[in-house]
């Protein structure tokens, strides 16, 4: 039975009785009579000059994206009196910025009416619009965010096979050291969930080009060539998933990549050695090192030693950020590391007398520190740029290793009270620790000792490491100075409580001849 596009009532007839009717929409075969539907907006807090990605369905032929402070506003194209803002679509070299399921629009660089707006999409072929009653974004004041406007190819295998040229991302504000984040499909994607918004959480795989022979960032910082990330047993699974970007610790927008079925690819040459194409279960169609539900054989592996197993030293990344402003909840036993750093959630331009410090997971040999810890001044531009010249080294580092039980701190540059600066105003700095830093030698027998180099947990990107000639970087971080000075507002005393077996002065176990004293000044 042919039914023309309409909304007929569907009823059930039994004998002579007929049920009530339920509306059923019959659409055109090409869905050209459907109104747009928005499922997600990324990011929901764009800044002027940034791109924003709108996900959904039935966007049809490229039309218009409207912003309005009024819920369900009636926006008319070209009408300057309707109170709606019409967003522009990025031009060349951006491509395919309007598809049936994804739109990439631009917040104009001169936009200054910062507020929350309802988003409406109008398709050009039938002039139908989305509701404009639920989908919102909040335009924030700030510098433009890293923005992607093009991905080529936008579909294919994941991970990429050996002969693939790589994915090419086009956009702006990528900086020289961006990080791409690939959705690993471990949960449903939605920009409204905390797990999705946290790029460093378990739902994403970060990729900064380390070990990637395809990785390139062009000199204009507007194009990236990359492989598709994989880690452990995870990569992008079968289906359409987002790839997001972060630069200078600022999250930008995302673009969708359609992962094709591995069963139509060359299964004799997996993209990663030891992986297989899953043909059954939840992982069907995806490359994995092992597939969900498959039967596996296992054995037992163990090790033993006649002494002790060596422990690797590494730099701790810790800071009780969520309780910064709660004196009762703040954990004073967490010694912040690294500081100061632009990676912390509420980081601001650092004061000129700030203290530079990292904390280790175990004891460190003090004599390995002076030749393996460096601080470089790296320019005054918007993005950090280091050439690692000796003339840019910060002189007179303090390099004081403070005892702290299991987690000793290294004060690289001591914070100063008053108005004596440690740093130059409005300048980027990069702190580097190489693998030449080693742990304290533990006694492993009566005649032997062993040390371990600093574990590589945050290496420099390959191009940066090639420029740095003083060793292999195990850990680095950046910060940017402002123009002011820090002053002491409050202090925590640790330990907060101490049980002693006698009354009297509390002695420092590291300096037995000296009692503990606390000075505030």
CA distances from 121 to 25, 36, 58, 94, 118 (A): 21, 6, 10, 20, 10
Report residue 514 CA to chain centroid gap: 46
- pLDDT for res 399: 93
- pLDDT for res 520: 42
- pLDDT for res 336: 85
3-state secondary structure of 466: helix
Give the integer Cα–Cα distance in Å for 318 and 335. 7
Tell which phi-psi region holds residue 343, choosing left (phi > 0), alpha (psi between -120 and 50) or beta: alpha
CA distances from 408 to 252, 360, 366, 441, 494 (A): 36, 6, 11, 15, 14
Which DSSP category does 467 fall into?
H
Q: Which helix (H) or strand (E) holds 464?
A: helix 462-467
Ordered structural domains, the chain, with CATH: 37-138 (2.60.40.10), 152-288 (no CATH), 310-490 (no CATH)
3-state secondary structure of 390: helix
Peptide bond into 460 cis (omega under 30): no
DSSP notation for 224-255: EEE----BTTBS--SEEEEEEEEETTEEEEEE
- pLDDT for res 236: 92
- pLDDT for res 110: 94
Neighbouring C-beta atoms of residue 218, cutoff 10 Å:
12
Under-50 pLDDT residues of the chain? 518-521
Give the integer Cα–Cα distance in Å for 123 and 63. 5
Closest CA to 246 of 152, 356, 314, 171: 171
């Amino acid at each position: 039975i042919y039914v023309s596009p309409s909304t007929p009532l569907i009823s059930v007839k039994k004998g002579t009785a007929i049920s009530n009717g339920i509306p059923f929409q019959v659409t055109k075969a090409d869905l050209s009579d459907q109104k747009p539907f928005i499922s997600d907006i990324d990011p929901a807090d764009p800044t002027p000059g940034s791109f924003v990605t709108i996900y959904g369905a039935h966007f049809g032929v490229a039309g218009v994206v409207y912003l309005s402070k009024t819920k369900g506003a009636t926006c008319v194209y070209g009408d300057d009196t309707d109170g709606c803002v019409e967003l522009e679509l990025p031009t060349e070299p951006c491509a395919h910025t309007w598809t049936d399921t994804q739109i990439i629009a631009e917040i104009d660089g001169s936009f200054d009416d910062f507020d929350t707006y309802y988003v409406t999409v109008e398709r050009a072929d039938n002039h139908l619009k989305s509701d404009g009653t639920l989908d919102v974004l909040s335009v924030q004041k700030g510098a433009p965010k890293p923005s992607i406007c093009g991905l080529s190819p936008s579909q294919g295998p994941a991970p990429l096979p050996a002969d693939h040229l790589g994915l090419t991302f086009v956009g702006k504000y990528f900086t020289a050291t961006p990080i791409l984040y690939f959705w690993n499909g471990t949960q449903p994607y939605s920009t409204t969930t905390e797990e999705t918004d946290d790029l460093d959480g378990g739902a994403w795989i970060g990729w900064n080009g380390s070990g990637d022979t395809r990785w390139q960032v062009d000199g204009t910082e507007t194009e990236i060539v990359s492989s598709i990330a994989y880690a452990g047993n995870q990569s992008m699974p079968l289906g359409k998933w987002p790839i997001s970007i972060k630069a200078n610790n600022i999250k930008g927008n995302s673009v969708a990549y359609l992962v094709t079925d591995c069963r139509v690819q060359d299964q004799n040459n997996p993209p990663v050695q030891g992986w297989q194409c899953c043909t059954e279960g939840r992982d069907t169609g995806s490359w994995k090192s092992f597939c969900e539900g498959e039967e596996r054989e296992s054995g037992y592996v163990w090790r033993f030693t006649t002494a002790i197993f060596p422990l690797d030293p590494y730099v701790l990344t810790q800071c009780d950020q969520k309780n910064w402003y709660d004196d009762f909840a703040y954990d004073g036993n967490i010694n912040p590391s690294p500081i100061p750093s632009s990676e912390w959630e509420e980081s601001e331009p650092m004061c000129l007398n700030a203290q530079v410090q990292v904390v280790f997971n175990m004891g460190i040999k003090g004599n390995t520190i002076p030749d393996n810890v460096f601080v470089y001044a790296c320019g005054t531009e918007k993005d950090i740029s280091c050439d690692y010249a000796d003339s840019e080294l910060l002189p007179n580092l303090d390099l004081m290793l403070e005892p702290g039980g299991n987690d000793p701190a290294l004060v690289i540059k001591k914070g100063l009270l008053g108005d004596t600066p440690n740093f130059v105003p409005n300048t980027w700095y990069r702190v580097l620790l190489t693998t030449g830093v080693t742990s304290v030698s533990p006694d492993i027998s009566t005649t032997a000792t062993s040390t371990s180099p600093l574990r590589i947990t945050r290496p420099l990107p390959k191009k940066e490491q090639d420029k740095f000639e003083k060793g292999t970087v195990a850990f680095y971080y950046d910060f940017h100075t402002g123009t002011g000075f820090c002053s002491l507002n409050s202090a925590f005393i640790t330990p907060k409580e101490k049980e002693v077996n006698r009354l009297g002065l509390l002695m420092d176990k590291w300096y037995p001849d000296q009692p503990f004293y606390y000075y505030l000044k």
